[in-house]
Amino acid sequence: MDAGKFLAGAGLRIATIAGQLLVVSIVIFVVLRLIPTDPLAMMIPANATRDEAESIRAAFGFNRPIYEQYLMWLGHALQGDLGNGIQAREPVTRLIKTALPLTLELAFLGLLTGVVLGALLGILTFRARGTRLERVGEAVASLAQSIPEFLWGIAFVLIFGLALSLLPFIGPMNSAYIVPRQTGFLIIDTLLAGRLDAFADHLKHMIMPVAALAMMKIAMVMRVLRSSLVEVYLDEYVNAARLRGVSETAILFRHALRNAAIPTVTLIGVQAAQTFGGTLLIEAIYSLPGLGNLMIVAIRTNDLPLIQGICLTYCAIVLLVNSLVDLSYFWLNPRLRRQ
């Protein structure tokens, strides 16, 4: 592929994302200013005089017209400063930076599990087409898809956490383990510190949240991959390969799977936004101190700068993931590269 063209395309993509984020930030800003209660009410001491209250308001810029507030916020945001949390009284960027790795890890593991298991089951049920196994798989998948992620999360707590006491379900790791924070990703930090016991414990804590996040995806990937395999097998080249004496396994893995993967990749792209939304509730259920829990605290305390910052982070991640998915089309489908 032409490197210059690729760079130009990537540049355009980044510019589009920046533009979209700008629009998103305006939407969030305006919506949050509709808020019926006073976000600073908790901050202003009960015995403050009117002047004192006004000066606190002025310090946060809440006394100015909304477009001025937005421009002020934007000016700071462009310099990487999203302001201070009203309740948390810490820079929003620092709060987000602390919470983000766990959310990314959770979403990545959830998506990975969903895709890998979904693809395996998709191939399995495809090979078993027409048998009872396929019908059972279909019924289970449709059940798995009907139950929203947060209910899967709670169901797992009830079954594996409480009834069977198999797995831990509070926090990302046993608090007895203390691992120095380097990347922020516990899964990497525990290994960097050479603490295999902490690493294993962290993985154990992540099994249920990741599984809850993956359930719907497993079902969806399985169904979409199977039906695209069925379609691909109607194509001439599959028969041609068969006539040439290529084994069924080789047809599936060397030819059909790659073509059948495209709708699945599209599905993963569409699912990205939903996956990050799903982490929010899963974090709340499993007490994981990620972005979602931060968001819930921010909402309960009406912490506007923090809510704004977290929303923007979620949107930026989703836009980035969608771009990566678009890039992977080029890898999967050589015809697109020539255009």
Partner 1 sequence: MSSRGQARILIGGGILAFIVCVAVLAPWLAPHNPNDQDLLQMLAPPAWSPDGDWSHPLGTDNLGRDVLSRLIYGARVAAIVGTIVPIGTCLLGSSIAIVAGYYGGYVDKTLSRIVDIWMSFPAVVLSLVLMVGLSPGLRSVILATVLVDWTRFCRITRGAILGLMKLEYISAARITGASHVSIMLRDLVPGVLPLIITLLCVEIGVAVVVESILSFVGVSVEPHIPTWGVMIADGLASVFQAPWCLVFPMLAVILTVMAANMMGDGLRIRFDARIVDRTRAPA
Instruction: Pick the closer one to partner 1 by CB: 322 or 328.
Output: 322
Selection from 283, 324, 258 nearest residue 10 by Cα: 324
The correct pick among 167, 188, 284, 325 for binding partner 1 (CB under 8 A) is: 284
Sites for partner 1 among residues 190-219 (CB under 8 A)? none
Q: Does 143 bind partner 1 (CB under 8 A)?
A: yes
Q: Does 114 bind partner 1 (CB under 8 A)?
A: no
Among the listed ranges 40-48, 150-158, 190-198, 201-209, the one in contact with partner 1 (CB under 8 A) is 150-158
The correct pick among 55, 63, 131, 146 for binding partner 1 (CB under 8 A) is: 146
Q: Does 140 bind partner 1 (CB under 8 A)?
A: no
Per-residue tokens: 339: 């255009």
Count CA atoms closer than 13 A to 25's CA, side-chain side.
Answer: 24
Instruction: Pick the closer one to partner 1 by CB: 177 or 329.
Output: 329
Q: Does 285 bind partner 1 (CB under 8 A)?
A: yes
- What is the CA 230 to chain-centroid distance, rounded? 30
The shares of helix, strand and coil residues in the chain, as percent rounded to the nearest 5, are 75, 0, 25
What are the φ and ψ backbone dihedral angles of 251, each rounded to 5 degrees?
-60, -45
The correct pick among 13, 24, 93, 188 for binding partner 1 (CB under 8 A) is: 24
Among the listed ranges 89-97, 192-200, 246-254, 311-319, the one in contact with partner 1 (CB under 8 A) is 311-319
Secondary element (H or E) of residue 75? helix 66-78
Q: Does 136 bind partner 1 (CB under 8 A)?
A: no
Among the listed ranges 127-135, 238-246, 271-279, 328-336, the one in contact with partner 1 (CB under 8 A) is 271-279
CA distance 319 to 181: 28
Cβ neighbours for 184, distance < 8 A, ≥ 6 positions apart: 97, 98, 100, 101, 102
Q: Does 302 bind partner 1 (CB under 8 A)?
A: yes
The correct pick among 2, 4, 36, 245 for binding partner 1 (CB under 8 A) is: 36
Q: Does 315 bind partner 1 (CB under 8 A)?
A: yes
Q: Which amino acid does the sequence have at 248?
A: E
Cβ neighbours for 195, distance < 8 A, ≥ 6 positions apart: 177, 179
CB of 93 to partner 1, least distance (A): 18
Instruction: Pick the closer one to partner 1 by CB: 28 or 252.
Output: 28
Q: Does 299 bind partner 1 (CB under 8 A)?
A: yes
Q: Does 287 bind partner 1 (CB under 8 A)?
A: no
Selection from 34, 82, 86, 29 nearest residue 56 by Cα: 86
- CA dist 77 → 52, 72, 162, 249 (Å): 27, 9, 45, 54
Q: Does 301 bind partner 1 (CB under 8 A)?
A: no
The correct pick among 44, 53, 56, 151 for binding partner 1 (CB under 8 A) is: 151
Count CA atoms closer than 13 A to 224's CA, side-chain side.
Answer: 23
Q: How far apart are the first and last CA of the chain?
A: 10
Residues binding partner 1 (CB under 8 A)? 20, 23-24, 27-28, 31-36, 142-143, 145-148, 150-151, 154-155, 157-158, 162, 273-274, 276-278, 280-281, 284-285, 295-296, 299-300, 302, 307, 310-311, 314-315, 318-319, 322
